[in-house]
Structure 1
Amino acid sequence: MANIQITSDEINRLIYSYFKDSGFEHSAFALAKEAHLERSPCFSKHVPRGELVELLSKSLLYTEVEYHFQGGELAANCKTGFSLLETHVCSTTPPEPQTFIAPLIRPNVPSVILEPTLPVRSNGVPDTNASKRKADVPPTNEPQEKRPRREQEAQGENTSDASSKKARNALPTFRKQGPVDKDTDPSSIQLLTGHKSEVFCCAFNPIKHNLVASGSKDASVKIWNLASTSKDPVTLESFSIAESGDLTSLSWNPTGELLAIASYDSVLRIADTSGKIYFQHSKHQGPIFTTRFSPSGRWLLTASLDGTSCLWDVANKRLHRQYSVHSDCCLDVDWINDTMFASCAADRIVHILSIDQENPIKSFGGHKDEINQIKCNPSGTRLASCSDDTTTRIYDVSNISSQVDGIPGLDGSSSTVVLEGHHHSVSTLGWYRLPGTSKELLATGSFDGVTRLWDCDSGECLHFFVDHTRPVYALSISPNNRWMATGGGDGWLHVYNLKSYQKIWSWYAGDDKPGVFEIDWQSHDKLERIAVALECKSVGIIDVSMIPVITNST
């Protein structure tokens, strides 16, 4: 008999491909990280589209043979179908059609801990695993009167009945969408609705300050006018295949006239503020993850799953150069100045490239897992990269010329600063400089739920925040460098004072699809607003100027 061996990695690989085929990109990503698939030989194997369904179909055929191989009249005339979830019972009577009725009980969402107190390890780092355990089980040791009351209680339901009280306490509690405090003016927060699925990205126009763009899994881009009395946005729906039209990145040019759109359908699109397509091209052979205009707006960069980055001449509407310098999918790009940029990939390498050279000017190694994001500081002298290897690295790019290195190779010099302290993938980062100071600092957010602030010279962690109970997806520093906003899979948006290290305000997206995927912070004249891309199919607009607890925080 043949030796049949099935491993958990093989099963996870099949499920991962099924998620990807079905468009469940975030589920696929979460499975890959949780199961450490990138470390398995199975991850590099090709899996044909629909392979999991094909194998399950074959298993049902085997089940049919198993039940009917002995023959007989009942087996020959059996009308009962075969199911993956039900035991087969032969019958000559056709089954009645069934209609699925969704239960009225809401899903059991893990409780959110507003002020988590974590055990601290001997090295001073919080035990984030303890935080995850707390999030899994609703706390039961707090006084009953401090628990949120259900709506029936608020309407005068008889609470003296002991059995009713016991039943109520056994039910999970849910938090409504809104700020954690009672003093915030409700009109300071508005939700822009109209998308049919999760909103993954959002971006304020840098010049036309009342315009904000949003991109969704529903394969549409909307441009909202916050000053208009009409709530109907300009909508772009020029995506040929909606199932692969997930929006991944939105980027305005410096004059606010053009919006670059990255999508899973592999087509680059540039539109104007009226929604008219200015330019589009299908040069990439895989999903586009990032779009970045150069400081002057003359150039546009794109990064793709096909392993390449493309440089586009915006005014002439053409491809200037395609860079094939990575051995795996290119995940992010960022400009150092108007003639040089950096790119990173799943191959763990950061390349510095010139608009006039095909080969890298310089390359940085050191990461032990794929790099998620890179970001250059405002002065163009330092570059930061964050990775699945739980670290962030800072490189000196101040003296890099536009000429290719004479001796090719990876720079792993001691001048690179390595930031260590997170316990899971580092997903996002942001540069800042406290008002009145010249020292550059860095903030990082991680899938361990922790946000950290770093000294970029020494690599010292200055402070950490542990308010999120799920992965941190988004991080945005206010233009005045006083505040930081973070958003995560737990549905919370937190705002911190970067000088005092205090959390000063929080807003919850709600229990139903709570994820906060992206944050953009706008500051102009008297305008101080935050745009939030939400899993609940909405774009949140928060008028910070109407929230005194933030504006009074110095």
Structure 2
Amino acid sequence: MASITSVELNYLIFRYLQESGFTHSAFAFGYEACINKCQIDGSLVPPGALVTFVQKGLQYLEMEANLSNADSDVDEDYLFLQPLDLITKDVYELRRTIKERRKNELKKTKEKELDKQREEAHGLVKDREKQVRKREREKETERTEEKPREKEHSYHNDKEVDTNHEDQKNVRNEENGVSGEPMEISTTSTSQIVELTSCDVTILEGHTSEVCACAWSPSGSLLASGSGDSTARIWRIGDGTNQSSSQNGPAGEIVLLHVKAKTNEKSKDVTAIDWNIDGTLLATGSYDGQARIWSTDGELKSTLTRHKGPIFSLKWNKKCDYIVTGSCDKTAVVWDVKTEGFKQQFEFHSGPILDVDWRNNVSFATSSTDHMIYVCKIGETSPIKTFSDHQGEVNCLKWDPTGTLLASCSDDVTAKIWSLKQDKCVHDFKEHDKEIYTIRWSPTGPGTNNPNLPLLLASASFDSTVKLWDVEQGRLLCSLTGHREPVYSVAFSPNGEYLASGSLDKSVLIWSLKESKIIKRYTGNGGIFEVCWNKEGDKIAACFANNVVCVLDFRR
């Protein structure tokens, strides 16, 4: 009698099962696993194993039917199983295996998406840095080629030298429907400027990287700062003699860590900070995509997690029940502060969101690198208004004190004023020569504590100027030309009579708007990213690229 090998016998059994109708892939996988095992040790497939793999195949058919009823993608479920799983696990274990492996795969996918978002954000930041360096090189070239002006030149002589330039501006004003000549404020005469030194300011030291944001608490004497060193800090500013914080500085400095202590996590820059209206809570946005809420004593009250990319902007509404955040992941999220969870996510933009600002307690505006502005409302799934006239990245937007007009500024070298009552912009300001980085409304006019003063808009640009606009008439009032490098920040005093500006030329300038001149100047050792006034209007804070925050006493 002829003999057959174990492999041949196994194959005969396999063919018999196929011809008997056991053609489903579950049976094939199970029997394949049995054959592979037996081929290793040269044995026959045990009868018990044959029964087992048939039972497992039937169980898998049952599981597949259940999965199909649950609207699952059965073909994808096969990908999470190995042949050996079918002969070693029952149907319940198979389901658990699929669930766990799908969860792990989803986690890997999310991690890849987050890494991609971080790379995009990093690229965006690097592009900004390249733009700044490019501006610095251009300004350095201009200074090298330009003949130095004689110090004895008067303001009027400078005006005569710049006649052609003014004529060109007047032509542009006429084209824009603007009447009258804007005033160009020159800084040639420095006899009346008070030059502040490091002895005249409080220097807050402690950050180990550039300080990109600062904000005074609406109550008390607390100042918050955010840095690239993965911390925010709360400083208690006294009313005594100003000294360096390394000597007799403010007591009670509180460090808000945005990474776990004693870890080697990558830097999570604090990119945005904002106090609630009564100054009891501080919200921070970070490069890690998380928003955090802190008490004034440094306690972390809640961590808000939903974004898949860095947060670039963050704001409380006036009622202090919601926070809105804008992220590099192209979405804005409204957070419910009481429940510590997200209220709604808005996914309208096709590029990273650069700024957000509340109109009232339930609606807000967003701007993006995609050149678009959307006005959103909680509960609505579509924008309630869309503005699309900008031709470049929209860097900043702000609602006026009454929530009637929206101002925006862009890399397209324009600032625009919008109204919900019309689709096109109300005013289109084109007097700047380079990108406009930020804008601020004055605390004057209707809806403010200074209703008898006119409402103004200030814009700061990479062309080294700050410009003031009469919004009611839609014209340029004056151009402030004291800086030598891009201006990153401007802030009005609470009474609307003064303006502070900070620039990459390392100087803070304080302007008297009534007299149209610079009255104080402080020059530090790094570029300035933000300036802000306290509520009393007697102190100005400025955050610097050389890791410090400086507080200027306006009364000195």
* Same fold by TM-score greater than 0.5: yes
Q: In the aligned structure 2, how far is the partner of 1:505 from the partner of 1:124? A: 31
Write 1 or 2 for the structure with the bigger share of helix. 2
Contact 1:330–1:346 (8 Å) recurs in 2 = yes
433, 436, 440: which is aligned to 1:423?
A: 433
Contact 2:121–2:310 (8 Å) recurs in 1 = no
Query: Is 2:209 the partner of 1:197?
Result: yes
**Which range moves more in the overlay, 463-472 or 233-242?**
233-242
Q: Which residue of 2 aligns with 1:308?
A: 331
Query: Is 2:309 the partner of 1:289?
Result: no
161, 167, 181: which is aligned to 1:123?
A: 167
Q: In the aligned structure 2, how far is the partner of 1:190 from the partner of 1:268? A: 29
Once the two structures are TM-superposed, the CA of residue 538 in structure 1 deviates from its matched residue by 0.7
Once the two structures are TM-superposed, the CA of residue 226 in structure 1 deviates from its matched residue by 1.5
Q: In the aligned structure 1, how far is the partner of 2:540 from the partner of 2:166? A: 38
Once the two structures are TM-superposed, the CA of residue 459 in structure 1 deviates from its matched residue by 2.4
Name the Cα RMSD after superposition: 3.2
Gaps of 5+ in 2: 1-115, 136-140, 171-191, 240-248
Letter matched to residue 443 of structure 1: A
Contact 2:271–2:313 (8 Å) recurs in 1 = yes
Once the two structures are TM-superposed, the CA of residue 246 in structure 1 deviates from its matched residue by 1.2
Gaps of 5+ in 1: 1-16, 37-107, 127-178, 400-410, 548-554
Measured against aligned partners, the alpha-carbon deviations of 1:314-352 in whole angstroms (never above 9, x if no partner) come to: 111110000001111111110111111111111111111
Q: In the aligned structure 2, how far is the partner of 1:317 from the partner of 1:330? A: 22
Contact 2:326–2:353 (8 Å) recurs in 1 = yes
Contact 2:440–2:490 (8 Å) recurs in 1 = yes
Runs (4 or more) in structure 1 with deviation over 6 Å come to 19-25, 33-36, 110-116
Where 1:121 maps in the other structure, the secondary structure is: helix
Contact 1:219–1:242 (8 Å) recurs in 2 = no
Query: Is 2:136 the partner of 1:31?
Result: no
Contact 2:499–2:513 (8 Å) recurs in 1 = yes
Q: In the aligned structure 2, how far is the partner of 1:192 from the partner of 1:427? A: 26
Q: Which residue of 2 aligns with 1:518?
A: 530
Letter matched to residue 465 of structure 1: L
476, 485, 489: which is aligned to 2:500?
A: 485
Q: In the aligned structure 2, how far is the partner of 1:31 from the partner of 1:462? A: 32
Contact 1:23–1:244 (8 Å) recurs in 2 = no
Letter matched to residue 28 of structure 1: D
Letter matched to residue 370 of structure 1: E
Q: Which residue of 1 aligns with 2:282?
A: 259
Letter matched to residue 449 of structure 1: S
Equivalences for residues 326-365 of structure 1 within 5 A:
326-365=349-388
Contact 1:180–1:507 (8 Å) recurs in 2 = no
Equivalences for residues 486-505 of structure 1 within 5 A:
486-505=501-520
Once the two structures are TM-superposed, the CA of residue 412 in structure 1 deviates from its matched residue by 3.9
Query: Is 2:351 the partner of 1:318?
Result: no
Letter matched to residue 217 of structure 1: G
Query: Is 2:194 the partner of 1:181?
Result: yes
Once the two structures are TM-superposed, the CA of residue 24 in structure 1 deviates from its matched residue by 9.2
Distance verdict in 2 for CA 1:194–1:365, change over 3 Å: same
240, 253, 257: which is aligned to 1:233?
A: 253
Letter matched to residue 308 of structure 2: Q
Once the two structures are TM-superposed, the CA of residue 125 in structure 1 deviates from its matched residue by 4.2
Q: Which residue of 1 aligns with 2:222?
A: 211
Alignment: residue pair count: 386
Q: Which residue of 1 aligns with 2:471?
A: 456
Contact 2:121–2:328 (8 Å) recurs in 1 = no
Q: In the aligned structure 2, how far is the partner of 1:360 from the partner of 1:33? A: 33
Distance verdict in 2 for CA 1:447–1:230, change over 3 Å: closer
Once the two structures are TM-superposed, the CA of residue 180 in structure 1 deviates from its matched residue by 6.7
Q: In the aligned structure 1, how far is the partner of 2:359 from the partner of 2:492? A: 19
Once the two structures are TM-superposed, the CA of residue 22 in structure 1 deviates from its matched residue by 12
Where 1:540 maps in the other structure, the secondary structure is: strand
Contact 1:372–1:386 (8 Å) recurs in 2 = yes
Q: In the aligned structure 1, how far is the partner of 2:503 from the partner of 2:123? A: 18
Q: In the aligned structure 2, how far is the partner of 1:421 from the partner of 1:341? A: 28
Where 1:519 maps in the other structure, the secondary structure is: strand
Once the two structures are TM-superposed, the CA of residue 23 in structure 1 deviates from its matched residue by 6.5
Measured against aligned partners, the alpha-carbon deviations of 1:263-293 in whole angstroms (never above 9, x if no partner) come to: 1111111111111111112211111011100
**Which range moves more in the overlay, 473-482 or 240-249?**
240-249
Q: In the aligned structure 1, how far is the partner of 2:316 from the partner of 2:283? A: 8
Measured against aligned partners, the alpha-carbon deviations of 1:407-455 in whole angstroms (never above 9, x if no partner) come to: xxxx643x52111111111011111137563532111000110110111
Once the two structures are TM-superposed, the CA of residue 497 in structure 1 deviates from its matched residue by 1.2
Once the two structures are TM-superposed, the CA of residue 499 in structure 1 deviates from its matched residue by 2.4
Q: In the aligned structure 2, how far is the partner of 1:462 from the partner of 1:322? A: 40
Larger radius of gyration: 2
TM-score normalised by structure 2 residue count? 0.64
Contact 1:188–1:544 (8 Å) recurs in 2 = no
Distance verdict in 2 for CA 1:180–1:190, change over 3 Å: farther
Once the two structures are TM-superposed, the CA of residue 122 in structure 1 deviates from its matched residue by 5.4
Distance verdict in 2 for CA 1:287–1:123, change over 3 Å: farther
Contact 1:239–1:265 (8 Å) recurs in 2 = no
Measured against aligned partners, the alpha-carbon deviations of 1:218-245 in whole angstroms (never above 9, x if no partner) come to: 1111111123976451111132575441
Letter matched to residue 453 of structure 1: L
276, 279, 282: which is aligned to 2:299?
A: 276
Once the two structures are TM-superposed, the CA of residue 25 in structure 1 deviates from its matched residue by 7.2
